Amino acid sequence: MARKKKDIVLENILIEDYAAEGKSLAKVDGKVIFVEQAVPGDVVDVRLIKNKKDWAEGFPIRYVSYSEERVTPFCSHFGVCGGCQWQMLPYKKQLKYKQKQAADNLERIAKVQLPEIQPIIGAATTQYYRNKIEYTFGTEAFVPKDEFVKLKATDTPNGATSDLAAGFHARGFWSKVVDIQKCYLQKEPTNELRLAIKDFAKENDYSFYNLRSHQGFLRTLLVRLCETGEWMANIMLGHDDKVKREALLDFILQRFPDITSLLYTINTKQNDSIYDLKPEIYYGKGYVIEKLDEFQFKIGPKSFFQTNTQQATRLYQVTRDFAELTGKEVLYDLYCGTGSIGIFCSKEAGLVIGVELIEEAIEDAKQNAMLNGLQNKTQFYAGDVIDICTEKFFTQHGHPDVIITDPPRAGMHGVLIEKINEIAAPVVVYVSCNPATQARDLALLNKKYEVTKVQPVDMFPHTLHIENVVQLKLRK
């Protein structure tokens, strides 16, 4: 162990395993060390950034030797942009560690009796799988340290900034943007569009947005590509300039004549969220149509929709199978969003009732039901589930035979969990994008329910994220 400027550096540390959130794990004299940017089998020197009695966190400052599990990342921006964390692992190994992550969370946090966990469902397509991407235009292009050295610039620990950039935020740097040349997450014309807008802006002296001063014209670009062939672009601008705006949008239409919806959004706020803004339609109908299995979904610039269409179909098939519908059940779809899960399950249910906090999502859900001719089999309500799901509501709309819940990463509210225990629907299907909070909630549902099936699904290859579907049945 070496010390320098009060920093603690652990030398020749063998990385033994993966832990949660993509961190790797080592043990030194019985103490657990969580390490970023390492692979099981690596031997590294680690600088600690947190040092507690029983555990510590750190990052490699030198790779003594590399793991035999490593493969060469296919993206030139790997390790700098925050998009893909696991490209250095073969996909089969990624699946192995994701399966382990789901199992570890359920066993360690939920501490309930579990059935055999089914093998994770991997993706048939591991590149160009996203239907939605958002790029950032910035004035501080991130330059990695090794590139900085090549330029004979002043050496800095974490890289430096220069020039304009169009791409993703640099990992760990809120104000710096990685200037992406080619991203493998979404099919073309995503890269062609981003680069064309960047070149046009530079040639015509359009300003890029400065994340520190909150000044500049070009802010972000959202691109949605659908399996139906329809695609949309929404450009966020820091202020309105009709001449510049129309020149840019006309250029896009000329260069990309097959675009089906082109929108712009004026955002003078200091954050990029558009939930409280109004995207304006410049060309097309302002939305796109996507298909999951036999069902169609209308997706606007503000709509939430699963970002991997192919894997979403598989995720929803698992969810529908776990619901064990016979055609007669009253199905409650909690946190229903735009109604995609409920609609996907609707033909096997008697009635689908969806509840979602965001009113605009509920309006989308109603339109999606109409689009599929399901308005007589579905009902959607806006509001907090803990306020809507009262005994009076159940008396009026029907007591649930099956509950599907798909909460955000934070999991379900404790009041809702108690409500589900009170409702005592025979079957609950819990879809989660965070197995840790799912496991916490399962421990509370254990009061009335037993876990009967578990199925992990990989929605995002080359990242640490994982979806997990759990079937629960009322204890007899």
pLDDT tens per residue, range 220-269: 999 999 999 999 999 999 999 999 999 999 999 999 999 999 999 999 99
Same domain, 223 and 168: yes
Mean pLDDT, residues 356-361 taken together = 88
Which pLDDT does position 283 carry in this prediction? 98
Average of per-residue pLDDT across 362-391: 92
Q: State which H helix or E strand residue 61 sits in.
A: strand 55-65
CA–CA dist 238, 219 (Å, integer): 6
Domain boundary among 18, 43, 65: 65
In a domain, 29, yes or no: yes
Q: Any idea which residue has 């204890």 for tokens?
A: 475
Q: Would you say 78 and 41 are in contact if contact means Cβ atoms under 8 Å apart? A: no
Q: What proportion of the chain, given as a percentage, has pLDDT over 90?
A: 81
Count of domains for the chain: 3
Please report where in the chains the tokens 């509370």 appear, as a residue: 444
Question: What number is the average pLDDT over the span 48-59?
Answer: 92
In a domain, 72, yes or no: no
**Looking at the predicted structure, is the pLDDT value of residue 154 above 60?**
no
Dihedral in degrees, nearest 10, Cα atoms 59, 438, 186, 297? -160
Does 238 lie in the same domain as 116? Answer: no
Do 356 and 436 reside in the same domain of the chain? Answer: yes
Q: For residue 19, what pLDDT is reported?
A: 81
Q: Is the pLDDT of residue 280 over 50?
A: yes
Q: What is the CATH number of the domain that holds 254?
A: 2.40.50.1070
402 phi and psi angles, rounded to 5 deg? -140, 135
Q: Is residue 418 located within the same domain as residue 285?
A: no
Asked whether the beta carbons of 238 and 259 are under 8 A apart, the reply is no
- What is the three-class DSSP state of 446? coil
Query: Residue 345 catalytic?
Result: no
Mean pLDDT of 110-135: 97
Average pLDDT over residues 314-330: 97
**Cα 341 to chain centroid, rounded:** 17
pLDDT band at 83 (very low <50, low <70, confident <90, very high): confident
Q: How far is Cα 457 from Cα 452, in angstroms, rounded to an integer?
A: 17
Alpha helices in 19-69 (DSSP H): none
Mean pLDDT of 35-43: 92
For residues 127 and 184, the answer to whether their CB atoms sit within 8 Å is yes
pLDDT of 109 higher than 90: yes
Distance of CA 402 to the CA centre of its chain: 26
Whether residue 138 is found in the same domain as residue 272: yes
Please tell me which of 22-26, 248-252, 394-398 the model is most confident about, judged by mean pLDDT. 248-252
Task: List beta partners, residue 105.
Answer: none
State the pLDDT confidence band at 32, using cuts at 50, 70 and 90: very high
pLDDT at 275: 86
For residues 265 and 286, membership in a common domain is answered with yes
Question: Mean pLDDT across the chain, nearest whole number?
Answer: 92
Instruction: Return the pLDDT at 351.
Output: 97
Which one-letter amino acid corresponds to residue 459? Answer: M
User: Are residue 381 and residue 421 in the same domain, yes or no?
Assistant: yes
Compare 151 and 368 and report the one with higher pLDDT: 368
Q: Is residue 71 part of a domain?
A: no
Residues 6+ apart with CB under 8 A from 178: 77, 80, 81, 141, 142, 165, 167, 168, 169, 170
Q: What is the mean pLDDT of residues 340-367?
A: 94
Contact 186, 178 (CB under 8 A): no
The answer to whether residue 297 is domain-embedded is: no
Residue-by-residue DSSP string for 169-191:
EBTT-TT-EEE-S--SSS-TTHH
Please write the tens of the pLDDT for every residue from 411-446: 999 999 999 999 999 999 999 999 999 999 999 999
Instruction: Sort 258 into a burial class: Cβ within 10 Å, 0-12 / 13-18 / 19+.
Output: exposed
Least confident of 31-35, 159-163, 245-249, 448-452: 159-163
The pLDDT score that the predictor gives to residue 22 is: 74
Q: Same domain for 321 and 387? A: yes
Q: What does DSSP assign to residue 257?
A: T
CA distances from 273 to 176, 276, 408, 470 (A): 18, 8, 17, 32
Please say which residue of 242, 262, 292 terminates a domain. 292
- Contact partners, residue 276, CB within 8 Å, separation at least 6: none
pLDDT of 162-218, one tens digit each? Answer: 589 999 998 878 889 999 999 999 999 999 999 999 999 999 999 999 999 999 999
At residue 6 the predicted structure's pLDDT band, cuts being 50, 70 and 90, is: low
Residue 374: pLDDT above 50?
yes
Residues 318 and 199 in one domain: no
Length of the chain: 476
Percent of the chain that is helix, strand, coil (3-state, to 5):
25, 30, 40
| Cβ atoms of residues 458 and 98 within 8 Å | yes
pLDDT band of residue 25 (cuts 50, 70, 90) is very high
Residues 341 and 306: beta-carbon distance below 8 Å: no
What's the CATH number where 355 sits? 3.40.50.150
Query: Up-side HSE of residue 105: CA atoms within 13 Å toward CB?
Result: 26
SS3 413: coil
pTM of this structure? 0.91
**What are the two backbone dihedrals, phi and then psi, of residue 68, each rounded to the nearest 5 degrees?**
-70, -15
Could you tell me if residue 455 is inside a domain? Answer: yes
CA atoms of 407 and 401, how far apart (whole Å): 19
Enclosing domain of residue 403 = 96-125+308-474
Q: Kindly state whether residue 463 falls inside one of the protein's structural domains.
A: yes
Whether 79 is in a domain gets the answer no
Q: Would you state the pLDDT for residue 151?
A: 46
Same structural domain for residues 285 and 158? yes
Tell me the one-letter amino acid at 307: T
Tokens of residue 449, six digits: 């329910």
With pLDDT > 70 as the criterion, what percentage of the chain qualifies?
95
pLDDT band for position 146 (cuts 50, 70, 90): low
